[in-house]
Amino acid sequence: MLTKRIIPCLDVKDGRTVKGINFEGLRDAGDPVALGALYAKQGADELVFLDISATNEGRGTFAELVIEIAAECTIPFTVGGGINSVKDVDRLLKAGADKVSINSSAVKNPDLINELAKEFGSQCIVLAIDAQHANGDWMVYTHGGKKSTDKELYSWAREGEQRGAGEILFTSMNHDGTKNGFAIAALNELGKQVTIPIIASGGAGTMSHFVDVFKEGGADAALAASVFHFGEIAIPDLKSYLRDNDIAIRN
């Protein structure tokens, strides 16, 4: 049986970890390098670092921070934000990242997924999808949730898989930061639409929400931020709780 993964997410802005609600009202959550090292020691399976202002500021992800993270982090980590080319990915992987996450740039230029998968392999290409549910549809947003698109969640995820993405990181903008639970129904449907692993993001508030996202949502991994950053859930306690609920989890 494949084990489920617990992935803390560090949204980085101006060199600091930040967290908001529904992509708004950001507040400081600490030093990303120190937090990454702490989560690795606590037993996180992977880490995700997202430079959330890179796309809106029209610049690339800062490789210097990736080098710092790699020096302190003992588990695989994914980096995203402002990635637009093979050159960008090459720079980040050489700096120490294990995988890259692409979002806005892939929507703008879907062929980028093909190019990156061909150059580096699907296993290190994560297609991040931020989507909002309204009027019965899940529609995709870019630029940190600031720009709407005409793409629909499920069709875009299928296209991403066909083009070579190795994983889907789906964030429900409706659930982000609310701590009311993950978008279970959408995750369930997403799992029927693609065969690659799905990372669920948005809505974690209690340990039972993680049980729900794995048992009912069918996610392969669960990503969370504020519940870890502000000490509401400790990763060792969460893993013990998941094992008690018959969920296969790494030590």
Whether 51 is catalytic is no
Q: Please state, in angstroms and rounded to a whole number, the distance separating the CA atoms of residues 197 and 221.
A: 8
Identify the residue whose tokens are 């930061």: 177
The alpha carbon torsion through 208, 48, 171, 87 (nearest 10 deg) reads: -160
Q: What distance, in Å, lies between the first and last C-alpha atoms of the chain?
A: 14
Query: What are the phi and psi torsion angles at 195 (to 5°)?
Result: -110, -10
- Active site residue: 45, 51, 130, 220, which one? 130
Greatest Cα pair distance, the chain, in angstroms, is 46
What type of residue is 221? Answer: A
Q: Under DSSP, is residue 26 helix (H, G, I), strand (E, B) or coil?
A: strand
**What six digits make up the tokens of 69?**
């993270």
| Rounded Cα gap, residues 205 and 185, in angstroms | 17
Catalytic residue among 11, 88, 176, 220: 11
Provide the 10 A C-beta neighbour count for residue 84.
18
Q: Which letter does DSSP use for residue 249 in this model?
A: B
Instruction: Report the relative pairing of strands 198-201 and 77-80 from DSSP bridges.
Output: unpaired
| Residue 90 falls in the annotated catalytic set | no
Long-range contacts of the stretch 87-90 (C-beta < 8 A, 24+) = 88/60, 88/61, 89/116, 89/119, 89/120, 90/119, 90/120
The residues annotated with a catalytic role in the active site are: 11, 130
